[in-house]
A and B are shown apart, each in its own frame.
Chain A
Amino acid sequence: MAKPVNVNQSKWTVPVLLKECEIYCPSTCVAFGPILSDNDSKLIIAHGGHRGVNMKLKVFQQLEQLSESSLADMPTALVHFINDLSSIPSIAVAAGPSLLIYKNLKPFYKFTVPSSAINPTESEAWKAVVNKKINGDTLLTVLKRLEDDVAFSKLTPISQTYLRADKETQVVLVEHYGTKIANSATITCIAKLTKSTAEPLDILVIGTEHCEIFLIDSQAFTILETIKIGSVPVNICAYGTYDVDYRLFVQTRASLIFCMKRGEADYQPIVISQSMITSMVLVNKMIVYTTVENLIHFASFRGKKMNTVKCPSKIKMLEPFIYPLKQLAAVIAVFDKEIRMYNEHYLLDTVQYEKPLAWVKYGCYGREDSTLVVAFKDGSIAIQIFRRKANFDTKLDYNQVPQAHALKLQIPKKTKVFIDLTQREVQLGNRIHKVYQKNLFDVKYRLAASYLELTSSASATVSTTTVLPVEISVDIHGFGPTFRMTIHLLSSSKQNLYDMHLSIISDPELYDFDTPLIPVHLLASGQSYSFTTLLYCKDPEKAANCDVRALLVHAKRATPIVTAVIKMPFSEFPLD
């Protein structure tokens, strides 16, 4: 089922499935942490449900669901934080423009992002339509003109919905929401930042659709700082403590990464990516981010790229991995059916699964500090624990080369002969080249000369033209003094060949031919032709033999098209 391959060498224990759970949520809606008085770390999930139905905040303990409560709005992110040292930690769920705070699994507070300024024309139009001064259609026209003038994203969420809704919904919208128009931006991402090491309270950091980042004091829910950036933030990673020194790394929808330090007002992007950034995490004082080109980049906090991994397939998400007992740190990259662990130099581990993955979360669950929660596409969730004896001793290069290519060449040592030869080559290079060229020319000359001799004398089976490829073979039958000679011709040229002759020549003292010249009227391509002639040995008692040549000739060609040389056998005596 959910079993990974190669369990024995795995750095993780065999996954255990949670009972009766079906979870569909993004990886941002998952957190670990103690939320009840028993101090046992729980798995907290804001379950997205189906199209706004069945949205739940679920809490798991051990392998079972501990509790669930309904959510009113679609959750976008979730964070577990400490806002009171004397009591239990809380959960913040970002839904729409609000943060819903849960304490002891009960609703505790609702924080809504302050409204931005509303376009005056827009608010007037809404007022007018509520007071029945204008009708719905006029409102639509006004909003459409505004959309052209100031851009769709600058309008309030309610106007945006109105513009995209059908007639009936528009009427409902006016009735229900017309009087209370607010321009609260939807929360896109949430992170937490420790206040100070002495006082481990958390500061909440939220990013909104209106390109703003708020730092919120989690005790009184007052806004400590507001930061305006040039693009919509989608992911925030916090580092350091708020009171001493902190940095916020903000990934935006425009594929930029900003770094915000304490006490700095000017924010410039530190990473500008040409392709879309899909995920970003912090590991070991490094920013690790992925792009749509299946690359994982490791960059320093200043944005200087240190290394890049090319991955074989699409990376779904990244998750930081820290094992403080052995000071191991890595980044877990989630692929379709496997996870891989990388650090800035090596590929450290690969775990394969039999089902497609949705997300993973690493942290403290129950009593074990290094637990990996793996969620599959089908909604099931498995839990694995990092083995105590596991290490990262076996490292692989990012892009592994096949074994044979990785072998180093055995370069021989510099012997005296080698040095002498090298010296000679350096000193007499010119002469060596000339001698070589002369020899090469000689070889070519001899080759040409012998070829010419061969073709002109027709003393061997040689085809002189490449344009007319004809194969010839000759059979000799009989023991003598009368022989039967059969010549087979096979043309493989594209056109048919006409008007040729087969000429058979030999020493006239030795042999006599029945038909020394056989006319070949047609050689059709690909067809085999055979011609037969008888030949008589004139004087078998001499016990002599010589070569017989069969030439295929054409009247208009000086050289034969093809030649066969037949070594004749010794002739027997006639049977008298």
Chain B
Amino acid sequence: MGFFSSLSSLFGLGKKDVNIVVVGLDNSGKTTILNQLKTPETRSQQIVPTVGHVVTNFSTQNLSFHAFDMAGQMKYRSTWESYFHSSQGVIFVLDSSDRLRMELLKDELMMVMEHKDVVSRGIPIVILANKMDIPGAMTASDITVALGLNLYRSGTWSIHSTCALTGDGLDKAMQQLSAEITKYMESRRT
């Protein structure tokens, strides 16, 4: 089995399947980011607010992702946590221009990072500071301070500035996530 899997991965045939959860407040750009990650042919033109959740599939060099695109509106936020236990990574998307809800964001992010299914399994979290193209948006380092992440040492998290409309910064973030998830899967196997 081990021989075949390594052989197949060598040929890039059987990519490993991983589940990730995409969460974040409403209007932060979760669906748009996932849309950007899909191949250009499969992208949809119209993005509407997600209801419940939508599963999006896309792949990087060595991983095949099943992304659970969660709805961000207040009434759906309590459903996020039920998906953590079956996933190998979390993407937290935030709107860097939304200063009004920065405190609420901090609350929600801490609830994700301190959730028992995330902490006990040590799954990687990637924070995407989206909408960096909007004038007056906060930088990734500003957000790190505003969310109190500089004081948060436990867990594996990283923050990236992105623009979902153009796809800027997304590749780097996804590379990091893939690397973290691979590392996480290795540690699980041993």
Binding site for B on A (CB under 8 A): 13-16, 62-63, 325, 365-370, 383-385, 387-389
Contact = CB atoms under 8 A, between A and B. Distances in A.
Contacts of A366: 100-101
B74 interface: yes
Contact of B99 (A63, A367, A369): A63
Contacts of B111: 388-389
A325 B100 CA distance: 22
Interface in B76-109: 77-78, 98-104, 106-108
A322 to B, nearest CB: 14
Contact of A368 (B78, B101, B102): B101
Nearest to B102: A16
B75 interface: yes
B98 A62 contact: yes
Interface size class of B (residues with CB under 8 A): 10 to 19
B74 A369 contact: yes
14 contacts: A13-B103, A13-B107, A62-B98, A63-B99, A63-B100, A325-B74, A367-B26, A367-B101, A368-B101, A368-B104, A370-B74, A383-B100, A387-B107, A388-B111
A183 B177 CA distance: 73
A368 B74 contact: yes
A365 B101 CA distance: 11
A25 to B, nearest CB: 21
A117 to B, nearest CB: 51
Given A13-B107, A16-B102, A383-B100, 15 more contacts: A13-B104, A15-B103, A16-B99, A62-B99, A325-B74, A366-B100, A366-B101, A367-B25, A367-B27, A369-B74, A384-B103, A387-B107, A388-B77, A388-B108, A388-B111
A542 to B, nearest CB: 94
Contacts of B103: 13-16, 384-385
Contacts of A369: 74
B80 to A, nearest CB: 10
Contacts of A368: 74, 101, 104
A370 B104 CA distance: 11
Interface of B: 25-27, 73-75, 77-78, 98-104, 106-108, 111
Contacts of A16: 99-100, 102-103
A383 B101 CA distance: 9
A388 B99 CA distance: 19
Contacts, number: 45
Contacts of A367: 25-27, 73, 101
Q: Lowest 9 A-B CB distances belong to which pairs?
A: A13-B103, A14-B103, A385-B104, A62-B100, A13-B104, A63-B100, A63-B99, A367-B26, A388-B77
B86 to A, nearest CB: 22
B20 to A, nearest CB: 22
Contacts of B99: 16, 62-63
Contacts of A387: 104, 107
A388 B72 CA distance: 13
A370 B107 CA distance: 15
A62 B100 CA distance: 6
Contacts of A384: 103
A383 B27 CA distance: 19
B145 to A, nearest CB: 14
A388 B100 contact: no
B155 to A, nearest CB: 20
B181 to A, nearest CB: 28
B78 to A, nearest CB: 7
A437 to B, nearest CB: 73
Nearest to A387: B107
Nearest to B75: A325
A66 to B, nearest CB: 13
Contacts of B74: 325, 368-370, 388
Contacts of B108: 388
A366 B99 CA distance: 12
Nearest to B103: A13
Contacts of A385: 101, 103-104
A365 B104 CA distance: 13
Max chain A C-beta neighbours (<10 A), residue from B26, B103, B108: B103
Nearest to A14: B103
A382 to B, nearest CB: 11
B60 to A, nearest CB: 32
B102 A388 contact: no
Contacts of A365: 100
Nearest to B98: A62
Nearest to B27: A367
Nearest to A389: B111
A156 B128 CA distance: 65
B71 to A, nearest CB: 13
Nearest to B97: A62
B105 to A, nearest CB: 9
Contacts of B107: 13, 387-389
Nearest to A62: B100
B96 to A, nearest CB: 13
A370 B106 CA distance: 17
Contacts of B77: 388
Nearest to A12: B103
Nearest to B136: A64
A147 B98 CA distance: 59
Residue among B27, B78, B100, B107 with max Cβ neighbours from chain A (10 Å): B100
Contacts of B73: 367
A63 B103 CA distance: 13
Contacts of A383: 100
B81 to A, nearest CB: 11
A563 to B, nearest CB: 81
Contacts of A13: 103-104, 106-107
B114 to A, nearest CB: 11
